[in-house]
Chains A and B, each alone.
Chain A
C-alpha cells in the first residue's frame, strides 16, 4: 500500500520501503530503491533544467519590456524542448589534436558534481535523500569538483580562447569558495550543527534571517554575491562573455556536450538558491510569527514542498535580477573584490557572530 500524505512525505517513503521489503529480499529492495531514487533525480534534474531556461528567458523579457518566447506552445512552453532537440541533432565535432578522453570526460565531471550536491538537499518534510551529519560540509566539498571539470574542458580543447577562459574561471571559483564557506559558517555557528535536517528544524519558531538579526542578514547578502560568482553568472561571467573572447572554456563543444555544460550551469543556480533557502530562509518551514496563532494555522495549511520551492524561486529571481542589470566586472576587479573586500568583511562577520552566540544576544 503506498500512502501519500502531502504534509509529511515520510509516510510515502516508509510505505514504499515496506512494500518493497515485503516483496523481495532485503538486498534487492535496497538495490531497487537506489535505482528508483536515481531515476527520480535524473527526471527531476532534466525537467527542472528545462523549466529554468524557459523561466530565465521570460524574466529577462519582462525586464527588457518585451514578451519572451511565445510561438512554440501556448506561452512558448515548449521552446526549451525545441532547443534541446536542436542541440541533440547537431554534429559532434572532434578536434584534431585534442586529448580525446579528457575532452569527452569534462562535461560529465561537471554534471556529476552538481548531481551529488543535489542529493543532500531537504526538499520537504521527510523528503531528503541523504541526511549526513556533515550535511552542509558535504555539499560545499562536492560542488568544488565542478572546477576540475571546467579546467579539464579548457585544457583539452587545444585552443587559445578556451585556455584563457578556463584559467580565469578556475581562479574565480577557487577564490570565491572561501567566502561562500565563511558565509554559510555563520548559520552553522547559530544552529550548532552541520546536519541539514537539524538546521531546518531549528528554524521552526522563526527563520535564521529574522532570529539572527543584523549579522545573519549581512551573511545572507554576502552569500548571495559570492554564490553568484561561484556559478559563473551575472556580473561575474567574464569567463564566458560573448563579446570578449567568444565563449570561453566551452567554445569547442557542440551538441549534447554543450547542453551538459549549459544545463549544469542552471542547475547549479538552483542548488545555490536551495542552500540559501534552507539555511537562511527556513527550508521547508512555513512562516511563523510568534504569538499570532491564527496566522500560523493558515501558514500551516500550505504544504512544505511548496514553501521550499517558493523560497528557492524567489532567490533564483534575485540572482537573475543581478545578471540583467549590471555590467560585467573585469577579471582583476573580480579578484580584487573578493580578496580585499568580501573576505575581510566575512571574517569580521564571523567573529561578531561567534560573540553574539556566546553571549546569547539573539532571538532564541
Chain B
C-alpha cells in the first residue's frame, strides 16, 4: 500500500512542478514585457554609447588642427604588446633650437588589448578614448592608423604666471 501512495505522490508532485514551470514561460506570452534586443542598423540615429566607452584610441585635435602630443614615447614604453610606434623628427622651435616633435604616432588597432595604460601614463593628456566601434574592414592594413592628422602642430601650453 505504501508504494502505491508513493507512486501517486510522485505523479502529483511532478505534475505540479511542471505546471509552475509552464506558468513562468506562459506569462511572457500573455504580457510580453520589454524587448531588450536593440534593432541595430536602424537605430543608429539615436544610439548613444556611454561617456567612457572604449571604442578606440584617438588623439583629439582642436579647431586650429593642434594636438598635445610631444613625442616623448612614454606610451610606447608602457604598451604591453607594441601596438604603438612613435616616429619623431627634429624641428626648430621659435628660438631656433632643434627640438624633438612628433612625426607619426602609429597605432595598430588590430593588436590593441584596450588596457588603457597608454592613456593613463601620458604626461600631456594627448590621447583619449573614442566612441566609434564599427571597425570591421576587408583589408587588414586599414587597421593601422596614424593618430596625428596631417599638417597638425603642437599646441603651446599656456605659461601660468
Which residues of A are interface residues toward B (Cβ below 8 A)? 59, 62-67, 321-322, 324-326, 341, 345
A62 surroundings in chain B (CB, below 8 A): 28-29, 32
Contact of A63 among B18, B25, B35 (CB under 8 A): B25
Q: Which of B1-55 contact A (CB under 8 A)?
A: 11, 18, 21-22, 24-26, 28-29, 32-37
Q: How far apart are the CA atoms of A325 and B24 in the complex, in Å?
A: 9
* B21 pairs with A63, CB closer than 8 A: no
Which residues of B are interface residues toward A (Cβ below 8 A)? 11, 18, 21-22, 24-26, 28-29, 32-37
A326 surroundings in chain B (CB, below 8 A): 18, 21
Given contacts A321-B26, A341-B11, contact A65 B32 (CB under 8 A): yes
A66 surroundings in chain B (CB, below 8 A): 35-37
A341 surroundings in chain B (CB, below 8 A): 11
B32 surroundings in chain A (CB, below 8 A): 62, 65
A67 surroundings in chain B (CB, below 8 A): 35, 37
Given contacts A66-B36, A66-B37, contact A321 B22 (CB under 8 A): yes
Q: How far apart are the CA atoms of A59 and B29 in the complex, in Å?
A: 8
A-B contact pairs, 23 of them (CB 8 A): A62-B29, A62-B32, A63-B29, A64-B28, A65-B28, A65-B32, A65-B33, A65-B34, A65-B35, A65-B36, A66-B36, A67-B35, A67-B37, A321-B25, A321-B26, A321-B29, A322-B22, A325-B21, A325-B22, A325-B24, A325-B25, A326-B21, A345-B11
In the A-B complex, the 4 residue pairs with the smallest Cβ-Cβ separation, listed nearest first, are A325-B25, A66-B37, A63-B25, A63-B28
B108 CB to nearest A CB, Å: 35
Closest A residue to B23 by beta carbon equals: A325
* B35 pairs with A324, CB closer than 8 A: no
Main SS class of interface, A: helix
A63 surroundings in chain B (CB, below 8 A): 25, 28-29
Residue among A66, A321, A325, A326 facing the most chain B CB atoms (10 A cut-off): A325
Q: How far apart are the CA atoms of A67 and B34 in the complex, in Å?
A: 11
A321 surroundings in chain B (CB, below 8 A): 22, 25-26, 29
A334 CB to nearest B CB, Å: 14
A272 CB to nearest B CB, Å: 19
B97 CB to nearest A CB, Å: 63
B24 surroundings in chain A (CB, below 8 A): 325
Q: How far apart are the CA atoms of A345 and B29 in the complex, in Å?
A: 32
A64 surroundings in chain B (CB, below 8 A): 28
Q: How far apart are the CA atoms of A322 and B25 in the complex, in Å?
A: 10
Q: How far apart are the CA atoms of A322 and B29 in the complex, in Å?
A: 13
* Given A321-B22, A325-B22, 6 additional A-B pairs, CB 8 A: A62-B29, A62-B32, A65-B28, A321-B26, A324-B25, A326-B21
Residue among B22, B25, B29 facing the most chain A CB atoms (10 A cut-off): B25
A75 CB to nearest B CB, Å: 13
Closest A residue to B34 by beta carbon equals: A65
Closest A residue to B27 by beta carbon equals: A63
Q: How far apart are the CA atoms of A63 and B32 in the complex, in Å?
A: 8
B25 CB to nearest A CB, Å: 5
B21 surroundings in chain A (CB, below 8 A): 325-326
B10 CB to nearest A CB, Å: 8
B22 surroundings in chain A (CB, below 8 A): 321-322, 325
Closest B residue to A317 by beta carbon equals: B29
B33 CB to nearest A CB, Å: 6
B18 surroundings in chain A (CB, below 8 A): 326
Closest A residue to B7 by beta carbon equals: A341
A59 surroundings in chain B (CB, below 8 A): 29
A64 CB to nearest B CB, Å: 8
Q: How far apart are the CA atoms of A325 and B26 in the complex, in Å?
A: 9
Q: How far apart are the CA atoms of A65 and B18 in the complex, in Å?
A: 20
Closest A residue to B36 by beta carbon equals: A65
A325 surroundings in chain B (CB, below 8 A): 21-22, 24-25
A221 CB to nearest B CB, Å: 9
Q: How far apart are the CA atoms of A64 and B32 in the complex, in Å?
A: 9
B35 surroundings in chain A (CB, below 8 A): 65-67
Q: How far apart are the CA atoms of A178 and B84 in the complex, in Å?
A: 72
A253 CB to nearest B CB, Å: 31
Closest A residue to B30 by beta carbon equals: A62
B139 CB to nearest A CB, Å: 28
